[in-house]
Amino acid sequence: MKSAASAASVVPMSTPEAPAGQPATPEPDSRREAIIELSHTGVTFETRKGNDLVALDDFNLTIYREEIVSLVGPSGCGKSTVLRILAGLQKPTTGDFWIGGGKTRQGFSEVAIVFQRPTLLPWRNVLDNVLYPARVLKGRADKDDRDRARALLALVGLEEMADRMPHELSGGMQQRASIARSLILDPKILLMDEPFGALDALTREDLQLDLLEIHERTRKTILLVTHSISEAVLLSDRVAVMSARPGRLQDLITVDIPKPRGPDSTARPDFHTYSQRIRDDIFGPRTKRDRAQ
């Protein structure tokens, strides 16, 4: 109170002026509520030889509720590291981060993760795998949890597979199960590290559309790491492009393709404009000669 009053007395003009006229901040910032904030976050690994490896340097990113943000960049630029920080698997060596305003975490009910590989536990059937986060957090899964797990399996098209063992499922089905598992405790945030990377093109397309549909229904905040530029454009509200070592935020692109999106969205001219911009960010603009041939 005191500081606000004194600030107002020193610069009386600035405070009432700001919200009225200029849209100084980008459009989403002013309307929405931040749910993830990374501020000047850096991670340095000590290698065996004793020299330091800067995996992430001065990384700043704010993500808003219900948004889908993609993280793209060359291999080894620190995308997974960002996700591991947010998942609580990696401590930042410099800077700071906030999730939902705080730092306490309650397992998958707060932040859930989908890895590149399905990572199902081979000794549990599909249903029990989906229930695993609930078991860890509450000690046991009750009837409600089971019903929810079955509903989620139906959502990803696996209702008939509930009692199978993971090895009886195809790779795509396993990844679907792991997506269902990530949603079991209704997390606020979904972290996905190249979730479709190991899949064939057809399954991949299928799961991308599934993800859009799941997002429509559940309105989760999703942070997605991907190597596919078209996947990033198709799925995201914003695309964060990272530069190679040391990993930094290079560009932040708002994708204004109307929703709901689907296979048709990829045919739009602006889809290609966005894709080209990301490509240019990563590889540098191509020379005229390259383009002519």
Partner 1 sequence: MTPALRKIILPVATFLAFLGVWQFLSYAMEIPIYLLPSPVDIFHGGTRLGMTMLTNTGETLKTILIGFACACLVGIPLGVLVSVNRTVSEMIYPLIVFLNAIPIIAIAPILVVIFGTDMTTRLIIVTLTCFFPIMVATASGILDTPSEMLDLARVAGASTMTEILTVRLPHAVTFIFSGLRIGVTVAVVGAVVAEFVNANKGLGFLVTSSTAQFAIPTATACVVMLAIVSVLLYEAVNWIHRGFFGWSIKSNVGD
Ligand X SMILES: Nc1ncnc2c1ncn2[C@@H]1O[C@H](COP(=O)(O)OP(=O)(O)OP(=O)(O)O)[C@@H](O)[C@H]1O
Binding stretches for partner 1 (CB under 8 A)? 84, 87-89, 105-108, 111-113, 115, 117, 119, 121-123, 132-133, 135-137, 165, 167
Residue 78 binds to ligand X (criterion: CB under 6 A): yes
Residue 112 binds to ligand X (criterion: CB under 6 A): no
**From the CB of residue 11, how many other CB atoms can be counted at a distance below 10 Å?**
9
Residue 174 binds to Mg ion (criterion: CB under 5 A): no
Radius of gyration, alpha carbons of the chain: 21
Give least dist CB 232 to ligand X, A: 13
Q: What are phi and psi of 275, to 5 degrees?
A: -60, -45
Give least dist CB 33 to ligand X, A: 28
Residue 236 binds to Mg ion (criterion: CB under 5 A): no
Binding span for ligand X by CB under 6 A among 28-36, 77-85, 167-175, 260-268 = 77-85
Instruction: Closer to partner 1 by CB, 36 or 253: give it.
Output: 36
The footprint of Mg ion on residues 65-94 (CB under 5 A) is 80
- # binding residues, ligand X (CB under 6 A): 10
Residue 248 binds to ligand X (criterion: CB under 6 A): no
Q: CA distances (Å), 84 to each of 112, 139, 278, in order?
A: 11, 25, 24
Instruction: Closer to partner 1 by CB, 15 or 106: give it.
Output: 106
Helix (H, G, I), strand (E, B) or coil at 42: strand
**Smallest Cα–Cα separation from 36: which of 94, 96, 81?**
96
Helices (H), 21-102: 27-31, 79-86
Enumerate residues 6+ apart whose C-beta is below 8 A from 151: none
The contact set with Mg ion (CB under 5 A) reads 80
